[in-house]
């Protein structure tokens, strides 16, 4: 018997909402249809202000953004269903990650806040919605992230080789999948993914991202700057660990440039940011992972040829592959993961991996908002 779920993902890059319609049949997972939905500019501006320590952010802004984003998520679901020719009553549940506006696992009273009102989503779509996945893991002593590794284990595990799944979104995270079932799967955030490169090109070229890494490839990285950025404490912190926009953002970058008294042109800085992302990933693989045979890459960064070239040059002993080689397009892995997490919750099954998040136990995640 097959079931249909929808996964909604709005990542740290805030470049849009990914909506995935997923069929689960026994152990088979199939992407039936997908839809990319824009986030209105006014809402995106509010989300960025809320995710930073902006003086313009307020409780009213938070409340309105939560409601507005819930409405946009519902629109994304309706568009997806319309394009797929599927009725709402055919969907078992929606899994909505929400938009992270603050992730602070480092505080004494730690918290992680994702918004996008699930009440609005469930009411307007007529579909049961699962949301707020991170906080139960934090209640159990974990960092609440990353959550995709449990899904990675389900889909990409092999008994023949050690694999790692590298997701390069706004933030990069990695999952280690040992071929030996007696060893634990684990994962963590490695540092910035596309976030700093996106912020720099947005400021200087008014583009949302560096297509294929062409701007970065037009110049040469400054090794002094890259070395300075690699001194950031998060890079060398041992896992479990997670981070987000509240740490890596444009103001943080400009502070680093000021401290290093950098007199570099904009092109060279973009090239250096690409290498920083690459080097931070390589550092994580070399220092925190056992030996791996294959690195499977997904997320928007998989399309950045310059970044992928950096990785392949430094990881010559490891086979690099796209998640598409294993049946899942790199743009949709995360959204499919949240459809899977919703299924886990609906079936009263754990969705976290304690070895990944640091939680005391595997636990059922999320809150259910009935249709």
CA distance linking residue 225 with residue 221, whole number of Å: 8
Q: What pLDDT, on the 0 to 100 scale, is given for residue 129?
A: 98
Answer yes or no: is 125 a known binding residue.
no
Q: Is 265 annotated as ligand-binding?
A: no
Integer Cα distance of 162 and 368 in angstroms: 35
pLDDT at position 261 is: 65
pLDDT at 182: 92
Residue reference for tokens 């079931």: 3
- Annotated domain spans of the chain: 2-145+332-369, 149-326
Q: Report phi then psi at 298, rounded to 5.
A: -140, 180
pLDDT at 27: 86
Query: Which tokens in the block code for residue 251?
Result: 């103001």
User: What percentage of the chain exceeds 70 in pLDDT?
Assistant: 99
Instruction: DSSP letter for 324, please.
Output: G
pLDDT (tens digit per residue) in 7-64: 999 977 788 999 999 999 988 999 999 999 999 999 999 998 998 877 788 999 999 9
pLDDT winner (highest mean) among 7-16, 262-271, 295-304: 295-304
Q: Is the pLDDT of residue 3 over 80?
A: yes
pTM: predicted TM-score of the whole model, two decimal places: 0.93
**pLDDT (0 to 100) of residue 262:** 67
Is 181 annotated in a binding site? The answer is no
Rounded to the nearest angstrom, the gap between the alpha carbon of residue 258 and the centroid of all alpha carbons in its chain is 29
Query: What is the pLDDT, as a whole number, of residue 271?
Result: 97
Residue 160 has pLDDT above 90, yes or no: yes
Q: 149-326 belongs to which CATH class?
A: alpha beta
115 annotated to bind ligand: no
**What digits encode the pLDDT tens for the residues 249-261?**
999 999 999 887 6
* pLDDT tens string 275-288: 999 999 999 999 99
Per the annotation, does 11 bind a ligand? Answer: yes
Q: Residue 358's pLDDT band (boundaries 50, 70, 90)?
A: very high
DSSP β-ladder status, 2-10 and 17-25: antiparallel
Q: Phi/psi class of residue 20: alpha, beta or left (left: φ > 0; alpha: ψ in -120 to 50)? A: beta
The mean pLDDT value for 236-247 works out to 94
Q: Is 237 annotated as a binding residue?
A: no
Cα angle at 132 between 175 and 25, to 5 degrees? 60
Q: Look at residue 56 in the predicted model and tell me its pLDDT.
A: 83
Average of per-residue pLDDT values in the chain: 95
Residue 90's pLDDT band (cuts 50, 70, 90): very high
With a CB cutoff of 8 Å and minimum separation 6, the contacts of 326 are: 155, 156, 296
Using pLDDT thresholds of 50, 70 and 90, give the confidence band for residue 263.
Answer: confident
The answer to whether 198 is annotated as binding is no
- Residue 218 has a pLDDT of 96
Ligand-binding site membership of 70 (annotated): no
Instruction: State whether CATH 1.10.10.2520 applies to domain 2-145+332-369.
Output: no
Two structure tokens written together for 21: 């319609």
149-326 shares the fold of 2-145+332-369: yes
pLDDT exceeds 70 at position 214: yes
- pLDDT given for residue 12 in this prediction: 73
What is the 8-class DSSP label of residue 97? E
């Amino acid at each position: 018997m097959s079931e249909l779920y929808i996964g909604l993902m709005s990542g740290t890059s805030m470049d849009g909402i990914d909506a995935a319609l997923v069929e689960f049949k026994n152990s088979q997972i199939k992407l039936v249809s997908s839809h990319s939905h824009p986030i209105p500019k006014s809402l995106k501006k509010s989300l960025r202000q809320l995710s930073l320590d902006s003086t313009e952010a307020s409780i009213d802004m938070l409340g309105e953004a939560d409601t507005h984003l819930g409405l946009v998520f519902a629109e994304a679901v309706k568009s997806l269903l319309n394009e797929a020719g599927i009725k709402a009553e055919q969907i078992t549940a929606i899994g909505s990650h929400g938009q992270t506006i603050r992730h602070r696992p480092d505080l004494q009273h730690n918290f992680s806040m994702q918004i996008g009102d699930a009440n609005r989503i469930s009411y307007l779509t007529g579909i049961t919605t699962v949301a707020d996945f991170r906080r139960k893991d934090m209640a159990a002593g974990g960092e609440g992230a990353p959550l995709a590794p449990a899904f990675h284990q389900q889909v990409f595990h092999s008994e023949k080789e050690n694999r790692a799944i590298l997701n390069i979104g706004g933030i990069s995270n990695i999952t280690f999948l040992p071929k030996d079932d007696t060893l634990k799967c684990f994962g963590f955030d490695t540092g910035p993914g596309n976030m700093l490169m996106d912020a720099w090109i947005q400021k200087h070229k008014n583009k949302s991202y560096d297509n294929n890494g062409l701007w970065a490839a037009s110049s040469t990285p400054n090794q002094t700057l890259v070395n300075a950025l690699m001194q950031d404490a998060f890079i060398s912190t041992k896992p479990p660990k997670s981070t987000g926009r509240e740490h890596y953002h444009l103001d943080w970058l400009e502070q680093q440039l000021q401290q290093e008294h950098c007199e570099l042109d904009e092109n060279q800085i973009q090239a250096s940011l690409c290498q920083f992302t690459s080097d931070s990933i390589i550092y994580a693989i070399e220092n925190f992972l056992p030996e791996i045979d294959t690195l499977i890459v997904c997320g928007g960064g998989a399309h950045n040829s310059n970044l992928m070239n950096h990785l392949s040059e430094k990881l010559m002993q490891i086979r690099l592959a796209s998640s598409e080689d294993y049946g899942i397009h790199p743009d949709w892995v995360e959204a499919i993961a949240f459809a899977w997490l919703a299924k886990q919750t609906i079936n009263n099954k754990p969705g976290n991996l304690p070895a990944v998040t640091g939680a005391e136990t595997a636990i059922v995640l999320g809150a259910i908002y009935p249709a």
